[in-house]
Amino acid sequence: MTDTQIHDLGYRSYTGERAGVSGAVRSLVVHTMRRSLGLKRPARHKIAPALALVIAYAPAVAMTGFAAFLRADFVADLLGYGEYFAITGLALLLFAAVVAPGVMTTDRTNGMLALYLASPLTRTTYVFARGVGIFLVMLIVAVGPIAVLILGYTFAGIGPGGFFEVLEILGRACFAGVLSAALYTGVAMFLASIPRRWGIASVSIAAFFIITAIVTVGLTESIEVSDWVALGSPDEVMGEAAERIMNDPAFTIPALDRLPGSALIATAAAYGVVALAATWWRYQRIRVER
């Protein structure tokens, strides 16, 4: 004799909202952003996002404070708008190497990818939703800090002179930030789509950006090769492109200084577009396992 009981509760149809594909995409975008920022997750998952945000925003807040109290022109000379993208580039690299793989690889190892594809989502909409979520988080790091710096310098009297000049420099900053976020999002997603393990993906992404920078610097400065070889480093290309967009040159690879700004901007955009397209192609062929 067992205590098993069967309760006939009858069939109850679902009466809630049916959001369809757009609702599924929207939910996955929000979930991606929350996961990337470590929200509603254990404390260890909040360390990398918090560190990246501190790296990105702390110098802007500090320089704004110095400008407000000192009101000296030399404050702006210490950290220009173009130079600041080198700082945000470091924060974006941290996000790309640590946070993005945690979003992409986990779905494949814990079987969630199969569940997502059993919903209204397809492989294409899945990649789109994940990409938009990661891109929006990257945008917070790429655009927010430089906007704080611009507005801080403006209120301190050492920034752009008039309203339209402020709008112009903010527009330049947004353009450079969108370009940076797209590049790091695309490269991170593609490299994270190859291995199944988070750690391997993180090391691969960090190694890719670091090694390409070292190789291009070594080749262009130690031996006589074409300046165009320097375009092989996405990180350095994006840094120089941001300086050209902001019209605020700083120290970078000499070979990149000799290349036209249009070529640098086009190359940075191509890195993002090609990497995102490669990610889509990769996910059309990934074997889904439960």
Predicted TM-score (pTM) of the model is 0.88
Tens of pLDDT along 190-226? 999 998 888 899 999 999 999 999 988 888 877 778 8
Q: Are 104 and 72 in contact (CB under 8 A)?
A: no
Q: Between these two residues, 112 and 74, which has the higher pLDDT value?
A: 112
Q: What is the largest CA-CA distance in the chain?
A: 88
Question: What is the band of 227 on the pLDDT scale with cuts at 50, 70, 90?
Answer: confident
Measured CA to CA in angstroms, residue 91 lies from 88, 137, 140, 184, 247 at distances of 5, 11, 11, 11, 22
Tens of pLDDT along 156-187? 777 777 778 888 889 999 999 999 999 999 99
Q: How far is 146 from 111, CA to CA, in rounded Å? A: 39
- Which pLDDT value is given to residue 73? 58
54, 70, 71, 63: which is closest to 148 by C-alpha?
63
pLDDT at 79 exceeding the cut of 80: no
Q: How far is 263 from 89, CA to CA, in rounded Å? A: 20
- Which pLDDT value is given to residue 10? 60
Question: What is the band of 76 on the pLDDT scale with cuts at 50, 70, 90?
Answer: low
Helix axes 163-192, 234-246, angle to 10 degrees: 170
The domain limits of the chain are 21-283
